[in-house]
Amino acid sequence: MGNAAIWLITTALAVVLALLLVAFRALKSKPLIDRLLQDRLGSAKDDTASVDVAAPYQLVRARYGWMLVNSNDAYLGQAIIQYGECCELEVKLLLQLIAIRPGVVIEIGTNIGTHTVPMALALAGQNRQMTVFEPQPFIFQNMCANLALNGLANVTAWPYACGDRPGTLFFPRTDYHAQGNFGGISMTEASADAAVAVPCHRLDDLVDATTVSMMKIDVEGFELRALQGAADILTRSRPVLYVENDRIEQSKELIEWLWSKDYRLWWHIPPLFNPDNFFKNENDVYKGVCSFNMIGLPRELDFPLKGFDEITSSAHPLSLRND
C-alpha cells in the first residue's frame, strides 16, 4: 500500500473519530440544536436566554415562553427583561378565575400579551378560546408576534378600542424608540394634530351569543365605557370580571355601576414585584408600586372567594390614604 493511500485512510479515521467525539459530547450534555441555539442567543440566568433583534426589541425566553418586548418600556418590557415575567401575582389569580366556568375569555387592553399568553396557554389545554383587543397599532403588532411565537391558535385578536358606542378614538403619537410607559397611554375622544386614530366598537356588537366566562379589562381609565358597551354580555353570560380601577376620580362611578348590575366586588392590590420571579432577580425596581384591580362575581354565583377584601364602599383605597 502506498504512502498516499495510508495518508488518506489515516486522515479519514481521524475525521470520523473527531466527529464521533463531537457527537458524544453533544449527547452527553444537551441536544446539539439546543447548544447551537444557546450559542446564538447567549446565556442568561436560570437557563434563560435573550437576544437583541431589530430595535427597539429584545426576544426573551420568559416564564410562559418566548416574548418579544420593547426594552424602552419602563414597566412591561423591563419586567420581562429583568424578571422573565410581568405582574405574575395578577396572572396567578387570573389563571384561577378562568377556571371558574367554561366559555370564551375576553381581554380588553392586552398590551403586548403579558397576561394573554399564559391565559391562552391554559385555555388551549381545555380547548377554549380567547378574544382580545389592543388598539395601539404598534403595541398590537408586538402582541400578535407573541401569540405567534407561542403557537397560540386559540386567540382571535382585534386592533380595536372598546367603548359604549361605535366611533373613533385617538391616542397621542408616541415614540416607541424612546423610554416611556407605553401601557399607561390613555385614549381620548378629541383629535389632536399628532393623534393616531383607532376604531372603537361596542363589545356587544362584536361578540355573538357565545357564552363569555370571564372578562379582563385594563384600558387606562376607559373601563366603565368598555363595560357599558358590554351590558348585554353582562346580562346574558354573567361573566367573572377582573377590572383595573386605579383612577381615584372615576372609581365611585365604576363601582356603583357594577353594583347596579348585581355584581359583588373585591379588591386585588398586588405589588408589581414578585420575590419568586422567574429569573430569581432580587432587585425590586418597582418598590412600593402596586396595581389596583377589582374582582367581580355575579351576586348569584356561589363561589367561595377567600382572602380578599369585599368592596363595601365606593371610595377608592388611595383616596382614604390621602385623607
Read off the pLDDT of residues 10-33 as tens digits, 9 standing for 90 and up. 433 343 333 333 333 433 333 432
Degrees, nearest 5: CA angle 87-92-97: 120
CA neighbor of 186 nearest in space, from 171, 168, 164: 171
CATH class of 86-322: alpha beta
Beta-carbon contacts of 120 under 8 Å, excluding residues fewer than 6 positions away, are 130, 147, 150, 152, 154, 155
Pairing of strands 161-162, 240-244: unpaired
**Exposed/middle/buried for 238, CB within 10 Å: 0-12, 13-18, 19+?**
buried
- Pick the range with the lowest mean pLDDT from 41-50, 79-88, 95-104, 218-227: 41-50
| pLDDT of amino acid 15 | 34
pTM value is 0.83
For the chain, give percent helix, strand, coil, nearest 5.
35, 20, 40
Place of cell 453533544: 26
**281 residue type, one letter:** N
Number of H helices, E strands in the chain: 11, 13
The neighbour count for residue 96, using CB atoms within 10 Å, is 10
b/e burial code for range 181-212 (CB count within 10 A of at least 16 → b) = ebbebebeeeeeeebbebebbbbbebbeeeeb
Domain ranges of the chain: 8-40, 86-322
pLDDT (tens digit, 9 = 90+) per residue, 174-186? 888 989 888 877 8
pLDDT of residue 19: 33
Tell me how far apart the alpha carbons of residues 143 and 13 are, in angstroms, rounded to a whole number. 52
> CA 170 to CA 320: how far, in whole Å?
33
Name residue 67's amino acid.
M
**Of 191 and 293, the one with more pLDDT:** 293
Q: What is the pLDDT of residues 200-210, one digit of tens each?
A: 999 999 998 88
Query: Cis peptide before 56, with omega less than 30 degrees from 0?
Result: yes
